Amino acid sequence: MAVEHETGSGDALTTGRSELAVTFLAQDEQPAEGVARKLAGYLSGATRSLDLALYDVRLTPPQSEIFATALAERAAAGVSIRIAYDADKPEAPLWERGTDPAPGGTGAFIQSLGHPWRRIGGRKLMHHKYIVRDAELPGARVWTGSTNMTDDAFALQENNIVEIASAEIAGYYRRNFEEMWREEDFEKSGRFDTPEVEILHDGEMLRARLLFSPGRGPAIDYEVARRVARARRRVRICSMLLNSGALLAALTDVLREGRVMVDGIYDGTQMRGVLHQWRDVPQNRWKITAVEDIIEAAGLIGKKSTPYQPDTPHDFMHNKVLVVDDTVITGSYNFSHSAELNAENILLLESPALAERYSRYIDHLIGKYRDHSVKPFGS
């Protein structure tokens, strides 16, 4: 894959040099097959179990064969495989609620694989994209981040993949998975707190905290806004959407005070749809002005993606990332009220080295899309 930007690869997890590795994706900078093979390599390392919580799984050949073959080989080796996926998707995207639209097809594909599966219901979306490997063993690992299992997510979207080798963190993901698997519903999932966990990254200890929604949805919203409000040096945005009222208020205050640098990139086309919907929701109209002011004051770059339709290329700027001073905030969690109610996971990773890697990736995307930046308002 072309876009590593000095991050570790999956090799770092197996050599013992690091317990965390990040892969960055960008439109047309890596083939879908390459990401599928990276995923297959992760799956192939399982010796006891694989628990997959996946929102959107729609792969075409050869990616589908690579994924299916990797799972089949592990099953033949005696590995227990379970796949949980989102039960119900909206017929049309509800951008004002932060919905991340996905066409149908996930259920049929997963069921065709022949492994135990469950449709996970709930009022909103089972929006996770994580895979827990060998949670029962000291060498347990987690694959997470913003990347869905689709050709477009692999090759056309900006996404990040985080791999963590930590039995403690894997145990928390397994606990969340068990909650959903047992109930076949995510409404009661994630109602637990996790302590900070220290893991090795680039020869230094990184502090990681993990939260799940909906159980800790309001806490996530509060914690993200609190960290932005207390930023001392920088707030860097790399997020498809900016929907959260608490985050918008915090960004507004930080920009008004002028005490830290705020910059970054978002999806201008998809954000335009959000602003359009907000005009019909009286309690959200204040957000329109807030978003406009933040974009102008921070000089945010808006990727010009393809307007959403089920049969168009889904080339969104799909990351859900904030870099606040030396903390990276990332996961499946869009910064929206809807994400509080979805089944989501978010990592808060405190590490100067990791924050710099994400910062270089953001610089890369800003440079890539600066000359064709679009705004979600105006003509």
Percent of the chain with pLDDT over 70: 91
Find residue 208's DSSP bridge partners: 197, 349
| The pLDDT value given to residue 14 | 36
Nearest partner of 265 among 359, 330, 356, judged by Cα: 359
Tokens at 260, concatenated: 């830290």
Position 96 pLDDT exceeds 60:
no
- Predicted confidence band of residue 194 (pLDDT cuts 50, 70, 90): very high
What's the mean pLDDT in 55-66?
97
More confident residue, 44 or 16: 44
Residue 213's φ and ψ, nearest 5 degrees, are -110, 160
| The pLDDT value given to residue 92 | 59
Position 53 pLDDT exceeds 90:
yes
Beta strands in 309-366 (DSSP E): 320-324, 327-331, 344-350
CB 264 within 8 A of CB 335: no
More confident residue, 90 or 36: 36
Position 10 pLDDT exceeds 70:
no
Tokens at 173, concatenated: 């993901």
Beta strands in the chain (DSSP E): 20-25, 49-54, 57-58, 80-86, 117-120, 129-133, 141-145, 149-150, 159-165, 197-201, 204-213, 234-239, 261-267, 301-303, 320-324, 327-331, 344-350
Complete domains list, the chain, with CATH = 11-372 (3.30.870.10)
Within a 13 Å sphere around the CA of 368, how many CA atoms are in the beta-carbon half? 19
- Predicted confidence band of residue 377 (pLDDT cuts 50, 70, 90): confident
Find residue 24's DSSP bridge partners: 160
| Model pLDDT for residues 209-224, shown as the tens digit of each residue | 999 999 999 999 999 9
| Model pLDDT for residues 224-278, shown as the tens digit of each residue | 999 999 999 999 999 999 999 999 999 999 999 999 999 999 999 999 999 998 9
Position 16 pLDDT exceeds 70:
no
Query: Which residue is it, tokens 């066409």?
Result: 103
Burial of residue 14 (number of CB atoms within 10 Å: 0-12, 13-18, 19+)? middle
| The pLDDT value given to residue 310 | 82
Q: How far is CA 21 from CA 30, 121, 187, 317, in A?
A: 17, 31, 31, 21
| Model pLDDT for residues 140-190, shown as the tens digit of each residue | 999 999 999 999 999 999 999 999 999 999 999 999 999 999 999 999 999
Distance CA 190, CA 218 (A): 12
Residue 75's φ and ψ, nearest 5 degrees, are -60, -40
Within a 13 Å sphere around the CA of 348, how many CA atoms are in the beta-carbon half? 18
More confident residue, 340 or 99: 340
More confident residue, 4 or 275: 275
- Collapsing DSSP to helix, strand or coil, 246 comes out as helix
CB 178 within 8 A of CB 53: no
- Report the predicted TM-score, pTM, of the whole model to 2 decimal places: 0.93
| The pLDDT value given to residue 5 | 42
| Model pLDDT for residues 42-52, shown as the tens digit of each residue | 999 999 999 99
| The pLDDT value given to residue 368 | 98
